[in-house]
Amino acid sequence: MIMGYRVPLIAVDAMTAWATTDLPALLGHVAQLTDAREVDKHLLPLAVVVAQHHSAEAVSFLMTELSPSQRPLWVERITHQWMDADLETAAGWFLTPQVAEAGSGVAVSLATRIVGANSPEEAWDWLASLPPGVARAEAWTAAFREWGLRDPGQTAALINHLAGTAPERVADLDAASRGLAESLLQHDAALASTWIGTIRDEHVFQMAQRTLREHLMAELPNED
């Protein structure tokens, strides 16, 4: 591409036809764009096309062609596209380590949708399968926040069970405890304090206390 030359936006139907006949050429076309605005304009329709038909190619493109700064936008758009069309596919795509690494910006939305659409057992299996990292922590917090809004007692029992059976999973316990504490605080700080008093694991207890303290401090009037 000649520097400074603006490639016109390709219509979605044209991209679809191009992807069907020669996806590598289409991906290569987007990869060689140097204007960030042009890349952004192409990514949305391209994400739609690839999400519908070419998941393996999407992961390959994500890792080999896009820069680290471009990947979060790509992951966010393709995941949102799949969430609306095929939540199961979106959930599976997000288990790819390269995708999850760039997907912290969409992890909350995806986890909330998965909790709402699946049994607790199925959602739990998905959470446990997520690669380690920021996206996993965001997803765990979102899931336990959602569960806490529905059944705080059962959710607290689940966290206590996790603390008793897998105490080495400190990051998961932190994220889960924060999610439940946040959900309880939406209802009643006293209820959150009551739940915190039932925690048996010292680490989870400290994490929940910290979340409660941060919330209460944020609620104090600003004296400036």
* Residue with more model confidence, 174 or 114: 114
Per-residue DSSP letter, 3: T
Evaluate if residue 3 carries a pLDDT over 50. Answer: no
Evaluate if residue 220 carries a pLDDT over 70. Answer: no
Evaluate if residue 153 carries a pLDDT over 70. Answer: yes
Q: Where are the domains of the chain?
A: 135-218
Evaluate if residue 99 carries a pLDDT over 60. Answer: yes
Taking 3-state DSSP, the helix, strand and coil percentages for the chain, each rounded to the nearest 5, stand at 80, 0, 20
SS3 letters for 51-119? Answer: HHHCHHHHHHHHHHCCCCCCHHHHHHHHHHHHHHHCHHHHHHHCCCHHHHHHCHHHHHHHHHHHHHHCC
104-144 pLDDT tens trace: 889 999 999 999 998 888 898 999 999 999 999 999 999 99
Evaluate if residue 173 carries a pLDDT over 80. Answer: yes
* Residue with more model confidence, 216 or 77: 77
22-80 pLDDT tens trace: 777 777 777 777 776 776 666 666 666 666 666 676 677 667 767 788 788 878 877 88
- Would the pTM of this model clear 0.75, i.e. be above it? no
